[in-house]
Homo-oligomer: A and B are copies of this chain.
Amino acid sequence: MASDKRPGSSVTSFDVARLAGVSRSAVSRAFTPGASISQDARQKVIDAANELGYRVNPVARALNQRRTDLVGMIVARMDNPYRASQIDALSKTLVRNDFRPMLFCIDEGHGTEQLLSMLLDYSVSGVVITSDAPPAEICNECAHLQVPLVLVDRDDRLPQVDRISGNNAKGGRLAAETLIDAGRRKLLVLQPETAVYSITTRIEAFLAAAAEFGADVEILPVGTHNYEAGRQAAPAVAARRQDGIGIFCPTDIVALGLLDALRVGYGVEIPREMSLIGYDDIPQSGWEFANLTTIRQPVDTFVDVIVEMLKSRIAEPDAAQREELVDVMLVRRGTV
């Protein structure tokens, strides 16, 4: 039988100790993995705790361990469904691993300072930055204070700051190969001016592969990476509909804007007149209107690795910086 009285109420380790006939230290030890306590004592404590509905108070524990179970997630561009799905998965995985996710959404490096204090003041167990433009200042601060930090799709290389990204190099090359396999010899790549590490890497790999295959590549700058940016590129792209081009958009959301505007606004037939490939495999890419061929980044693997990294660094704060690459795969649909 569990808690009989107001649950979550003020039953303390003291109460449990008394009922179990042990000291408060014993209670503490019973709930501390790896603590030095006899099997017998532990069982008595557990029983008493169950009877009283006791659970250790994480706030009190945090106060003297100077560490909470909180993990800060810093994220920008939540309007990109890919980000939303990352956060969704990450939140669930953190909880499964006994962490408590805090969510900080930012607008491109805005409100950073306040955020920084917040995280540090709460002595979080770790921080995950999944943001295009996270202030380097936070990264440095965390590294400095020994707060485990995982950077997602970022290229900052700081000692003891772990990194994870999709295999952008492979993805970029895959995109080029796919377009070339489809017979496209003239290639076009949309490059957001606000391009960040992951996108830049994809594009570089794309260019390298294109060069290798002897294909022509042109770069078309676009404002940023969202639907609107892709849409606005449509006139320039439509102007080249005679060329039988193959287009690479380093983010699905941009590809979708372009694709949509191309078809609706210009009646361009894809893939008859041109081929298009995106990156991320967001749900919308599978929608009928889009049916976009793209490169999938497996979100679940991402988050599993993130949490694993967090845990290892908590265990070994001084371990060498780690860097993981998550495999990507081609998702063939109808635009190539």
> Chain A's interface: helix, strand, loop or mixed, by majority?
helix
| Interface residue ranges of A42-83 to B (CB < 8 Å) | 55-60, 62-63, 68, 70, 73, 78-79, 81
Cβ proximity bits A148-164 to B, threshold 8 Å, 1 near / 0 not: 00000000000000000
Closest to A265 in B: B288
Determine if B227 and A287 form an interchain contact, defined as CB atoms under 8 angstroms apart.
yes
Determine if A100 and B88 form an interchain contact, defined as CB atoms under 8 angstroms apart.
no
Cα–Cα, bound, A104→B73 (Å) = 12
What residues of B have a CB within 8 angstroms of the CB of A261 in the complex? 288
Is A23 on the interface with B (CB-CB < 8 A)?
no
Determine if B104 and A102 form an interchain contact, defined as CB atoms under 8 angstroms apart.
no
Cβ proximity bits A87-128 to B, threshold 8 Å, 1 near / 0 not: 110011001000011111101000100110110111100000
Decide yes or no: A145 and B63 within 8 Å by CB, A88-B79, A95-B114 being known contacts: no
Cβ proximity bits A275-312 to B, threshold 8 Å, 1 near / 0 not: 00000000110011110000000000000000000000
Decide yes or no: A121 and B58 within 8 Å by CB, A231-B288, A256-B287, A261-B288 being known contacts: yes
What residues of B have a CB within 8 angstroms of the CB of A91 in the complex? 103-105
Determine if A120 and B7 form an interchain contact, defined as CB atoms under 8 angstroms apart.
yes
What residues of B have a CB within 8 angstroms of the CB of A117 in the complex? 8, 55
Interface residues on A, range: 35 or more
Residue among A63, A107, A145 with the most chain B CB within 10 A? A63
Determine if A59 and B68 form an interchain contact, defined as CB atoms under 8 angstroms apart.
yes
What residues of B have a CB within 8 angstroms of the CB of A227 in the complex? 283, 287
Is A260 on the interface with B (CB-CB < 8 A)?
yes
Cα–Cα, bound, A57→B63 (Å) = 9
Closest to A257 in B: B287
Given A57-B121, A260-B289, 11 new contacts (CB under 8 A): A7-B120, A8-B120, A73-B103, A79-B84, A95-B115, A100-B102, A101-B103, A227-B287, A256-B287, A284-B284, A289-B289
